[in-house]
Chain A
Amino acid sequence: MTALPEPGDLAIHTTGLGKSFGKRRAVNDLDLAVPRGSIFGFLGPNGAGKTTTIRMLLGLATPDSGSISLLSEPMPAAASRVLPRVGSLIEGPAFYPFLSGRSNLIRLDSANHESDASTRGRRVDAALDKVGLGKAARLAVHAYSLGMKQRLGIANALVNVRELLVLDEPTNGLDPQGTREVRHLIRVLATEGTTVVVSSHLLSEIEQTCSHVAVMSVGNLVAQGTLEEFRADGRRVVSLRTPDTGVALAVLARLGLEARQDPVPGGQDGVLDAALGPEAPEPERLVEELVAAGVRVRGFTVQAASLEERFVALTGEGFDLVQ
């Protein structure tokens, strides 16, 4: 991990942030640093504390300990100054079902004391068009599908020009087409200079859009940095295909690699996988040694660890929700 950027360049900066609900520690000593202009992926399994963190960032919940700086202003003290510059989607969209999508956005915008009433209608319409709800704008929200509500929630974050967008699970409930549109939208917004924080429990979402990543697990921040750093930090894996698996295993063991034999359906070749640690010899030396030992190398690849493996390594496997 590289050194953190200067605090002034951070859209979000927390130090020692903590929050408990009863005996459960939801967020523990969190030092989050979101650089301005980044698309920041906020990863973690369900229940890791992402949403609680976001609620504290936006002043909905009071931290038990630590401090928050949002767009260089202290939260929650400066909430009324900062929040007009922040758009958010928190734990899914929520609207009055008997009002139209447009009326809902108008209502929320009129609650913003800094927004201009004279341009309200225009801005709301533009936001609705951006998320493809232009035609459904005057339909009551109870007639909306889950995906439409999600789009409306994103539109709400876009009614004003924002310096920071905090989107909690933005593609939840969207079809693949919608998911693509939202990713595209996020990239466009980022090129316009908006910092976007995208929280998700889905790795693929982060992998495809984000420039920075933070990973939470059981209330703790377990990794934070650029996507490249995150990837590079993962060890490489070599994969060897050979019929002489026994000899190959011995050679690799001699070189300090712990290989694992994967079953291969059909054929007599075996496949051995081994992670390359930092002290491990270069791949070309491995091949040299194997060939010298008489191993018939029929295939040899070096792969960077997938983000998924990295993610699982950080947060633990399995479906059990962390308590």
Chain B
Amino acid sequence: MAVKPAVLKKWIPAVLAPAVIAAFAVGASFSANAQVELEPKTPQQVLQMIAGSSVVDFSGTARATLDLGIPQLPDPGSSGMMQQPGSPGSEGDTDTDGAPETAGANLLGMLSALSGTHEARVYVDGPEKARIQVMDGMDEQNFIRNGSSLWHYDSAENTAVHLVLPKVPRHAGPPRHTMQPPTPGVVADRLIEAMGPNTEMSVQDDTRVAGRDAYILELVPRSDGSLIAKVSIGVDAATGAPLEVVVDAVGQEDPAIAVGFTTFTPETPAADLFEFTPPPGAEVTEHKIAKKFLDHKPDHGPRAKAKANGHKIPKPFLEHKTGAKDKNAKPGPKNPAGHPATINGTGWDTVVVVPAKEVPKDLANNELLNQLATPVEGGKLLHTSLLNILVTDDGRMVIGAVTVDRLQAAANNQ
């Protein structure tokens, strides 16, 4: 039986509606990623634009996506839904207690917790005033700097920490914090610093970032051993402000790190945003510190961050962390003085070798580590898409953003 045209006609809207929406969606993504015609610039000119950027007042929404290829850790508490009262979710903090005894494994745990997408609103008014609101589900972390006063407010715990900075003007607080998603500007600065003759720079097709015309500066390592495929920096054509940094890893389709603004307004934010009074009922910790600034700060950041993500960091971690912070912090050339780590290679191929005595004893036998690491020649390899960590059989730790054979070579050279 043929269907009558009159009947078919009734279905026209049902066909049109998805078509219209699809067209709308495609059109929206097209205009968001549309190429734009900008005055051609060389990489140097774009770098100059960044350096000469005069944007000191702005507000925007930043989004950071981390995809390091780390396996998802068992974590019942982080289900995006919600924890029902008395549900197993509220007991999630005991689940991971057994395994991550050491900071090394905890670092992985935290990276795993940080993986995914995080959003923050950023308000900056000159070098003295800044506010970052990290939004995670039903909670929010606030970092507010107003002159010498620095606040951190954690909505989940309803706690506030107040620091009074010494008179010496310093860089705004939040970016110092390693676990904090850095603003695009900070990330770009670091990358440009590290660039040498071993980087191929080019300006790609201009596009739109955060709804603004932008140059895309692309950095490709001149190294066949690097895990980093390329780094792209989106630079606002109007102001020179870096709006986006994307790091692609070799052999991974999605970017390993993508930090960027989704909205950006180069205007002075409302002044009262930088005024913070701890809410009544909040637990306030006052710190008047000068040099010991670093001693306290990291405690709250990572813990609060992970917490906001639904991760409950076990108590032993915190104690451990404060006790041996230097040893367990990510080793690198800029670590506090006296660090016995040795550095091999330069630029993209830099490899850090940590001697066995500086590596926590139980690391090699750690359950979680064994779960995540793969045995390779000469040790165990912890692989992330941007960083390889080799724990050698003799207990050394070799770290670098390079392929595993480079690490093995560095380990053997010692």
Direct contact of A and B (CB under 8 A): yes
Residues of A at the B interface (CB closer than 8 Å) are 20, 62, 64
Q: Taking the complex as formed, is B6 at the interface, i.e. its CB lies under 8 A from any CB of chain A?
A: yes
Task: Report how far A62 CA is from B4 CA in the complex, Å.
Answer: 9
Task: Report how far A97 CA is from B194 CA in the complex, Å.
Answer: 79
Q: Are A20 and B1 in contact (CB under 8 A)?
A: yes
Residues of B within 8 A of A64 (CB): 1, 4
Residues of A within 8 A of B168 (CB): none
Residues of A within 8 A of B6 (CB): 62
Residues of B within 8 A of A20 (CB): 1
Q: Are B7 and A62 in contact (CB under 8 A)?
A: yes
Query: Which residue of chain B lies nearest to A77 when distances are taken between CB atoms in the complex?
Result: B6
Contact with A along B1-18 (1 / 0, CB 8 A): 100101100000000000
Nearest CB of chain B from residue A17's CB, rounded to whole Å: 13
Task: Report how far A64 CA is from B4 CA in the complex, Å.
Answer: 7
Q: Identify which of residues 1-37 in chain B touch chain A, using a CB-to-CB cut-off of 8 Å.
A: 1, 4, 6-7
Residues of B at the A interface (CB closer than 8 Å) are 1, 4, 6-7
Task: Report how far A266 CA is from B182 CA in the complex, Å.
Answer: 116
Query: Which residue of chain A lies nearest to B2 when distances are taken between CB atoms in the complex?
Result: A64
Nearest CB of chain A from residue B25's CB, rounded to whole Å: 34
Most chain-A Cβ atoms within 10 A of its Cβ — which of B1, B4, B6, B7? B1
Task: Report how far A64 CA is from B6 CA in the complex, Å.
Answer: 11
Provide 6 A-B residue pairs closer than 8 Å at the C-beta atoms, listed in order of the A residue.
A20-B1, A62-B4, A62-B6, A62-B7, A64-B1, A64-B4
Residues of A within 8 A of B4 (CB): 62, 64
Query: Which residue of chain A lies nearest to B7 when distances are taken between CB atoms in the complex?
Result: A62
A-B complex: 6 closest residue pairs judged by Cβ atoms: A20-B1, A64-B1, A62-B7, A62-B4, A62-B6, A64-B4
Task: Report how far A62 CA is from B10 CA in the complex, Å.
Answer: 12
Task: Report how far A64 CA is from B2 CA in the complex, Å.
Answer: 8
Residues of A within 8 A of B7 (CB): 62
Query: Which residue of chain B lies nearest to A65 when distances are taken between CB atoms in the complex?
Result: B4
Nearest CB of chain A from residue B9's CB, rounded to whole Å: 12
Query: Which residue of chain B lies nearest to A20 when distances are taken between CB atoms in the complex?
Result: B1
Nearest CB of chain A from residue B362's CB, rounded to whole Å: 71
Task: Report how far A20 CA is from B1 CA in the complex, Å.
Answer: 8
Nearest CB of chain B from residue A29's CB, rounded to whole Å: 15
Residues of B within 8 A of A62 (CB): 4, 6-7
Nearest CB of chain B from residue A101's CB, rounded to whole Å: 35
Query: Which residue of chain A lies nearest to B10 when distances are taken between CB atoms in the complex?
Result: A62
Task: Report how far A64 CA is from B1 CA in the complex, Å.
Answer: 8
Task: Report how far A127 CA is from B1 CA in the complex, Å.
Answer: 43
Task: Report how far A259 CA is from B397 CA in the complex, Å.
Answer: 118
Nearest CB of chain B from residue A28's CB, rounded to whole Å: 13
Nearest CB of chain B from residue A80's CB, rounded to whole Å: 16
Nearest CB of chain B from residue A92's CB, rounded to whole Å: 27
Nearest CB of chain A from residue B7's CB, rounded to whole Å: 6
Nearest CB of chain B from residue A60's CB, rounded to whole Å: 14
Nearest CB of chain B from residue A96's CB, rounded to whole Å: 28
Nearest CB of chain A from residue B196's CB, rounded to whole Å: 76
Task: Report how far A205 CA is from B214 CA in the complex, Å.
Answer: 85
Task: Report how far A62 CA is from B1 CA in the complex, Å.
Answer: 13
Nearest CB of chain A from residue B387's CB, rounded to whole Å: 65
Nearest CB of chain B from residue A67's CB, rounded to whole Å: 12
Task: Report how far A47 CA is from B177 CA in the complex, Å.
Answer: 81
Task: Report how far A231 CA is from B67 CA in the complex, Å.
Answer: 89
Query: Which residue of chain B lies nearest to A22 when distances are taken between CB atoms in the complex?
Result: B1
Query: Which residue of chain B lies nearest to A76 when distances are taken between CB atoms in the complex?
Result: B6
Query: Which residue of chain B lies nearest to A63 when distances are taken between CB atoms in the complex?
Result: B4
Residues of A within 8 A of B1 (CB): 20, 64
Task: Report how far A166 CA is from B4 CA in the complex, Å.
Answer: 26
Task: Report how far A20 CA is from B6 CA in the complex, Å.
Answer: 17
Task: Report how far A24 CA is from B200 CA in the complex, Å.
Answer: 75
Task: Report how far A20 CA is from B7 CA in the complex, Å.
Answer: 15
Query: Which residue of chain B lies nearest to A21 when distances are taken between CB atoms in the complex?
Result: B1
Nearest CB of chain B from residue A219's CB, rounded to whole Å: 15
Task: Report how far A20 CA is from B4 CA in the complex, Å.
Answer: 13
Task: Report how far A100 CA is from B218 CA in the complex, Å.
Answer: 75
Nearest CB of chain B from residue A160's CB, rounded to whole Å: 28
Task: Report how far A20 CA is from B2 CA in the complex, Å.
Answer: 11
Task: Report how far A62 CA is from B8 CA in the complex, Å.
Answer: 12
Query: Which residue of chain A lies nearest to B3 when distances are taken between CB atoms in the complex?
Result: A64
Task: Report how far A62 CA is from B6 CA in the complex, Å.
Answer: 9
Nearest CB of chain A from residue B307's CB, rounded to whole Å: 52
Task: Report how far A150 CA is from B4 CA in the complex, Å.
Answer: 36
Nearest CB of chain A from residue B140's CB, rounded to whole Å: 48
Task: Report how far A20 CA is from B3 CA in the complex, Å.
Answer: 12
Nearest CB of chain A from residue B409's CB, rounded to whole Å: 75
Task: Report how far A266 CA is from B52 CA in the complex, Å.
Answer: 129
Nearest CB of chain B from residue A143's CB, rounded to whole Å: 40
